[in-house]
């Protein structure tokens, strides 16, 4: 077993050990990669019933406007993200991206308007850098506070609503990307109807001291099983969602990454608050003319899984690599290998035949539309 002694622990560490998790280092934390059921069964259970994930390693941040007007915080944050934050209504959440001066991505995140302040959730591996980035650029007008004493649980799958309703009556009325406060175990929980699996579900921020009790309460529901990072990765891959550090990073722009849907009209050319974020000239130009390369879905045409790092070729023999796989593996719900990667724009159309090199041999793959499984978000 890996040495976990130098790693940070989430408030659920003891519970993971009690549940028989295999713990691994992840972004400086000891995290459960799988429980005794194993990645395959955990994945399928989440799609069929409900999975409980510990995502307490992720960063939670509040941005409070010194003026008292949340619009001032939204406008300040808009200087760092190509997203319409000012147009986000109270109680609503939106996906966002921190960009750099080259148009690359420093992180991806969730942004919530909590009425009088903004609430962000950022990636574990980026959180220190994100805090510093936010503090540097927003401190004049806002108070930026990392919430280090809060845990984050995700409850995902078709059974999530019924299971959480028992603990937090009223969540049933929420729809996709709603965020609201609920009293759970006598403390304020921030509940969002969102997730990273393609399923309906919730993310629940609670004080660290309440996390284990909440997790145990949810696990008492027979439909709820604990799910590790292994299945979290295969679930998000099937859902076509990016993993920061693999599918997107400082060298990929939102347009290359096929994330232009995360940029609303107000921030695009001709919009009310056009540009004004790092890398705007690059990104707005790419929005107009397209990028040279695109992130696409890939369906291997044989049974051989194609994993991150595999080189992509236009032909079965000869030639230089034309792209690379950034995430890949076996999709338990698709019952076949699935992958995504970057290819030249001219080869990014669905149905384009390509080849991926695995163990020295080129295997046929086909460019496919994402996601690989239809999302089941509760939109209405």
Partner 1 sequence: MLKFTEEHEWLKVEGDIATVGITTHATVQLGDLVFVELPDVGKAVEKGDEAAVVESVKAASEVYAPLAGEVTEVNQAIADNPALVNDDPMGAGWFFKMKLADPAALADLLDEDAYQALVG
Binding site for partner 1 (CB under 8 A): 33-34, 38-41, 43, 230-231, 233-234, 303-305, 307, 329-330, 332, 337, 359
Q: Tell the smallest beta-carbon distance from residue 236 to partner 1 (Å).
A: 13
Separation of alpha carbons 230 and 216, rounded Å: 21
Tell me the β-bridge partners of 123: none
| Helix, strand, coil % over all residues of the chain, rounded to 5 | 25, 35, 45
Q: What is the DSSP letter of 161?
A: H
In angstroms, what CA-CA distances link 240 with 162, 198, 258, 330, 349? Answer: 26, 8, 11, 13, 16
Cβ distance to partner 1 smaller for residue 39 or 280: 39
Separation of alpha carbons 126 and 233, rounded Å: 18
Cβ distance to partner 1 smaller for residue 288 or 361: 361
Q: Which 3 state secondary structure label does DSSP give 168?
A: coil
Q: Tell the smallest beta-carbon distance from residue 239 to partner 1 (Å).
A: 15
Cβ distance to partner 1 smaller for residue 43 or 49: 43
Cβ distance to partner 1 smaller for residue 103 or 371: 371
Separation of alpha carbons 128 and 59, rounded Å: 8
Q: Tell the smallest beta-carbon distance from residue 332 to partner 1 (Å).
A: 6
Closest CA to 118 of 174, 180, 73: 73
Cβ distance to partner 1 smaller for residue 119 or 330: 330
Tell me the β-bridge partners of 311: 324
Q: Which 3 state secondary structure label does DSSP give 38?
A: coil
Q: Tell the smallest beta-carbon distance from residue 105 to partner 1 (Å).
A: 25
Q: Tell the smallest beta-carbon distance from residue 306 to partner 1 (Å).
A: 10
Separation of alpha carbons 90 and 266, rounded Å: 18
Q: Tell the smallest beta-carbon distance from residue 358 to partner 1 (Å).
A: 9
Q: Tell the smallest beta-carbon distance from residue 271 to partner 1 (Å).
A: 42
Cβ distance to partner 1 smaller for residue 203 or 233: 233
Tell me the β-bridge partners of 50: 224
Cβ distance to partner 1 smaller for residue 320 or 335: 335
Cβ distance to partner 1 smaller for residue 98 or 196: 196
Q: Tell the smallest beta-carbon distance from residue 41 to partner 1 (Å).
A: 7
In angstroms, what CA-CA distances link 14 with 46, 166, 221, 335? Answer: 22, 24, 20, 34
* Element of type H or E holding 122: strand 118-122
Q: Was 148 annotated as part of a binding site?
A: no
Q: Two tokens at 200?
A: 């309906």
CB–CB of 339/307 below 8 Å?
yes
Closest CA to 23 of 12, 9, 13, 33: 33
Tell me the β-bridge partners of 155: 52, 202
List, as residue ranges, the binding site for substrate: 203
List, as residue ranges, the binding site: 203
């Amino acid at each position: 077993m890996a040495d976990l002694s130098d790693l940070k622990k989430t408030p659920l560490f003891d519970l993971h050990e009690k549940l028989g998790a295999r713990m691994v280092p992840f972004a400086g934390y000891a995290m459960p990669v799988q429980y005794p059921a194993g990645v395959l069964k955990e994945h399928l259970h989440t799609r069929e019933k409900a999975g409980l994930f510990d995502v307490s390693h992720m960063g939670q941040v509040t941005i409070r406007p010194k003026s008292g007007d949340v619009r001032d915080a939204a406008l300040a944050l808009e200087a760092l993200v190509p997203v319409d934050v000012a147009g986000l209504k109270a109680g609503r959440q939106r996906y966002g991206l921190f960009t750099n001066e080259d148009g690359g991505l420093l992180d991806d995140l969730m942004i919530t308007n909590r009425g009088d302040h903004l609430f962000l959730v950022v990636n574990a591996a980026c959180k220190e850098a994100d805090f510093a980035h936010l503090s540097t650029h927003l401190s004049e007008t806002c108070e930026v506070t990392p919430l280090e004493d809060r845990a984050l649980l995700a409850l995902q799958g078709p059974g999530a609503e019924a299971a959480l309703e028992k603990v937090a009556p009223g969540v049933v009325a929420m729809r996709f990307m709603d965020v609201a406060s609920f009293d759970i175990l006598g403390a304020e929980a921030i509940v969002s109807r969102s997730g990273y699996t393609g399923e309906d579900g919730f993310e629940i921020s609670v004080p660290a001291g309440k996390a284990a009790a909440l997790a145990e309460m949810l696990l008492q529901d027979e439909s709820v099983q604990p799910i590790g990072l292994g299945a979290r990765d295969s679930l998000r891959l099937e859902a076509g969602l990016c993993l920061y550090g693999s599918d997107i990073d400082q060298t990929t722009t939102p347009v290359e990454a096929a994330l232009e849907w995360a940029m609303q009209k107000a921030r695009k050319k001709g919009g009310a608050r056009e540009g004004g974020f790092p890398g705007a000239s690059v990104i707005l130009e790419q929005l107009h003319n397209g990028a040279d390369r695109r992130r696409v879905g890939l369906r291997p045409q044989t049974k051989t899984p194609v994993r991150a790092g595999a080189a992509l070729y236009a032909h079965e023999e000869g030639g230089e690599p034309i792209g690379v796989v950034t995430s890949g593996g076996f999709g338990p719900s698709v019952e076949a290998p699935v992958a995504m990667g970057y290819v030249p724009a001219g080869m990014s159309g669905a149905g384009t035949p390509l080849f991926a090199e695995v163990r020295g041999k080129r295997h046929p793959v086909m460019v496919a539309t994402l996601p690989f499984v239809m999302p089941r978000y509760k939109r209405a």
